[in-house]
């Protein structure tokens, strides 16, 4: 398919396939059964604002009898309640709102253990439900409540809670986006704060524990059996999801481009691959040898489009090149070069997006590396999120944050505000972005980086980066 028009027609065909999927989804009722789950899952190709995304499974077909789709708990939820192929295996506010309308806010995702802003909120009327689940409806956020680690280097001294939940000073409620349960073969840390990652363990072992915790937590169930968690992990590890059609550039595998989920399923990965700092933890799945440093061509999906006759394709190729090579100063990033104890001293003058997003064609960091790029900073707080004031037990210093991140796992003061960089595929299907959904669109993500690192992107560079991110 060389021409723009053929790209368009291929897209509209796929859009029709996806539309059938959406219509099937609309028939979904309060209690999901597996036949209905199958109707929503089967096409595996879905429309989104940027075009179409698709899931490829190495198992050949999606097995909707897998425990991933089963009601293993007591509150009606399944993994599929919050991880859906039509939303690139997470949830989006738009689809959650539709579910609310369709079920009067009674779908199992609307549970007060972690779906509402306050635990155990009043949900007796439709109106109270709309209020109780406001963050889930508006930003697709789930409440993650964690106790302050006993050995924490800090105390929680003040809570500014817009919901007045009557918060204790021993626990913190953090509102986070569900991470996609696809492309997991490229993971180096499990959960935004890496709390399911155990040093030295294989990622698949961490995912098994995660599946068990998800069942006892989100689904309020008993611990699943080892066979069940293994089946869930095998299922998740076989999934690959990417954008497959762009609304302007057409088929993302045309004319030598290697977008799409099938190519991703063949992408090589090992823990530590292409790590700029040469980190190589001892764990199953680690590379055999230390990487010699950063090969900045992290994404090479669209290089063959640099001279395409289709302008939308050239824009994507330019965006890919910008992501790989556009230099800016990276400074003050906790976990990288934010201060004492960090691996790099001082600013990185020729930084790129790929310093942090280094895993080839996947875009996460290839080793566990929690970083603070400032998303949870008090300065970025929006009135819908609680603000926590922490005080260092030794120095008396205070710090305000909407989410202490990694610090709630390690108890370390220096870990406040650190999160993992997620896999950057199928982005167009799953706005909003960042752990707290603070970037409503990919354009907002680009704007965030332009400001945070004073990059000085031109309007055209912004548009190109956006076209690239949308095509992943
Ligand atoms: C009520 C919504 C909800 C349900 C139900 C749910 N999850 Fe999640 N899931 C989340 C949220 C929120 C996160 C991110 C939390 C964090 O990082 O702190 C997440 C994260 C994950 C991750 C981490 C991916 C990564 O990149 O680190 C995996 C894997 C996962 N869930 C699998 C499951 C499985 C398996 C089930 C069913 C047993 C399940 N989830 C049920 C909301 C849910
Ligand atoms: C200093 C490290 C660093 C650099 C440089 C960096 N990122 Fe990130 N990126 C992260 C981290 C960490 C997160 C997760 C932050 C959070 O949610 O708190 C992230 C998140 C993202 C997300 C959101 C993904 C999602 O699923 O929500 C996108 C998109 C993204 N980055 C794109 C870029 C682009 C484009 C650039 C270059 C302009 C870039 N990043 C540069 C570390 C970095």
Token output for 246: 């762009």
Identify which ligand lies nearest to the alpha carbon of 66: 1
- Give the closest residue (by CA) to ligand 2 atom 37: 353
Residue 214 alpha carbon to ligand 1 centre in Å: 6
Q: Is residue 150 part of a domain?
A: no
Of all residues in the chain, the percent with pLDDT exceeding 70 is 91
The whole domain housing 41 covers 4-92+177-318+425-470
79 touches ligand 2 (CB under 6 Å): no
Atom 12 (ligand 1) nearest CA = 178
Question: Is the CB–ligand 1 distance for residue 144 below 6 Å?
Answer: yes
pLDDT band with cut points at 50, 70 and 90 for residue 3: very low
Ligand 2 centroid distance, CA of 180 (Å)? 15
Q: At what angle do helices 311-325 and 459-470 cross, to 10 degrees?
A: 100
Establish if 429 belongs to a structural domain.
yes
232-287 tens-digit pLDDT:
999 999 999 999 999 999 999 999 999 999 999 999 999 999 999 999 999 999 99
Whether 328 is in a domain gets the answer no
pLDDT over 70 at 20, yes or no: no
Q: Give the model confidence (pLDDT) of 351-365 as tens digits.
A: 999 999 999 999 999
- Whether residue 207 lies inside any domain: the answer is yes
Query: Using alpha carbons only, what angle is made at residue 363 by residues 352 and 47, rounded to the nearest 5 degrees?
Result: 120
Nearest CA to ligand 1 atom 21: 179
DSSP per-residue string spanning 4-69: HHHHHHHHHHHHHHHHHHHHHHHT--SS--HHHHHHHHTT-EEEETTEEEEEEETTSS--TTSGGG
What average pLDDT score do residues 45-51 get? 97
Can you read off the two tokens belonging to residue 398?
């205070």
* Least distant ligand from the CA of 364: 2
**Other Cβ atoms within 10 Å of 176 Cβ, number:** 21
- Mutate which of 91, 335, 422 for ligand 2? The one with the most ligand atoms within 8 Å of its CB, which is 422
CA of 306 to the centre of ligand 1 (A): 38
The C-alpha atoms of residue 100 and residue 77 are separated, in whole angstroms, by: 15
Mutate to test the pocket of ligand 2, among 92, 296, 353, 380 (most ligand atoms within 8 A of CB): 353
Query: What is the count of structural domains for the chain?
Result: 1
pLDDT at 296: 85
Q: What is the mean pLDDT of residues 337-355?
A: 95
In a domain, 331, yes or no: no
Q: How far apart are CA 214 and CA 207, in angstroms?
A: 10
| 362: in domain | no
What pLDDT score was predicted for residue 21?
Answer: 39
**pLDDT at residue 275, rounded to an integer:** 96
Tens-place pLDDT, residues 207-241: 999 999 999 999 999 999 999 999 999 999 999 99
Q: How far does residue 178's CA lie from ligand 1's centre (Å)?
A: 5
Write the pLDDT tens digit of every residue in 376-432.
999 999 999 999 999 999 999 999 999 999 999 999 999 999 999 999 999 999 999
- Span 447-471, average pLDDT: 98
| Residue 379 lies inside a defined structural domain of this protein | no
Domain presence at residue 39? yes
Structure confidence at residue 38 (pLDDT): 60
| pLDDT tens string 94-131 | 999 999 999 999 999 999 999 999 999 999 999 999 99
């Amino acid at each position: 398919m060389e021409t723009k028009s053929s790209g368009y027609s291929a897209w509209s065909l796929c859009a029709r396939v996806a539309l059938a999927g959406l219509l099937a989804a609309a028939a979904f009722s309060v209690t999901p059964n597996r036949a209905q789950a199958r109707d929503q899952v089967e096409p595996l190709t879905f429309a989104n604002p940027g075009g179409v995304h698709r899931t490829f499974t190495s198992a050949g077909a999606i097995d909707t009898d897998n425990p991933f789709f089963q009601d293993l708990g007591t509150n009606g939820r399944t993994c599929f309640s919050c991880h859906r192929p039509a939303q690139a295996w997470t949830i989006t506010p738009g689809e959650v709102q539709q579910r609310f309308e369709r079920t009067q806010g009674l779908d199992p995702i609307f549970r007060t253990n972690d779906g509402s802003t306050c635990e155990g909120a009043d949900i007796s009327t439709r109106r109270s439900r709309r209020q109780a689940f406001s963050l889930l409806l508006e930003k697709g956020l789930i409440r993650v409540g964690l106790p302050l680690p006993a050995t924490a280097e800090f105390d929680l001294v003040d809570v500014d809670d817009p919901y007045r939940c009557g918060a204790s000073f021993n626990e913190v409620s953090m509102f986070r986006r569900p991470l996609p349960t696809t492309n997991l073969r490229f993971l180096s840390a499990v959960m935004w704060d890496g709390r399911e990652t155990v040093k030295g363990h294989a990622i698949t072992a961490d995912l098994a524990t995660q599946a068990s915790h998800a069942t006892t937590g989100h689904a309020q169930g008993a611990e699943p059996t080892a066979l069940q968690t293994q089946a869930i992990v095998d299922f998740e590890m076989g999934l690959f999801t990417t954008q497959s059609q762009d609304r302007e550039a057409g088929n993302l595998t045309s004319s030598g481009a290697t977008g799409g989920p099938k190519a991703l399923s063949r992408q090589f990965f090992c823990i530590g691959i292409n790590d700029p700092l040469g980190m190589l933890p001892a764990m199953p799945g680690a590379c055999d040898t230390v990487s010699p440093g950063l090969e900045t061509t992290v994404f090479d999906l669209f290089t063959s489009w640099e001279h395409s006759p289709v302008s939308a394709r050239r824009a994507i190729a330019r965006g890919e090149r910008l992501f790989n090579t556009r230099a800016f100063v990276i400074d003050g990033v906790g976990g990288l070069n934010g201060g004492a104890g960090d691996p790099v001293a001082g600013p990185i003058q020729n930084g790129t997006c790929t310093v942090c997003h280094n895993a080839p064609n996947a875009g996460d960091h290839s080793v566990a590396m929690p970083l603070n790029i400032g998303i949870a900073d008090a300065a970025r707080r929006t009135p819908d999120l609680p603000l926590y004031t922490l005080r260092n037990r030794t120095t008396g210093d205070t710090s305000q944050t909407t989410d202490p991140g990694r610090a709630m796992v390690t108890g370390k003061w220096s870990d406040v505000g650190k999160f993992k960089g997620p896999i950057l595929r199928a982005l167009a299907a799953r706005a909003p972005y960042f752990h707290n959904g603070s970037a409503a669109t990919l354009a907002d993500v680009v704007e965030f980086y332009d400001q945070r690192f004073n990059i000085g992107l031109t309007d055209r560079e912004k548009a190109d980066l956006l076209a690239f991110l949308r095509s992943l």
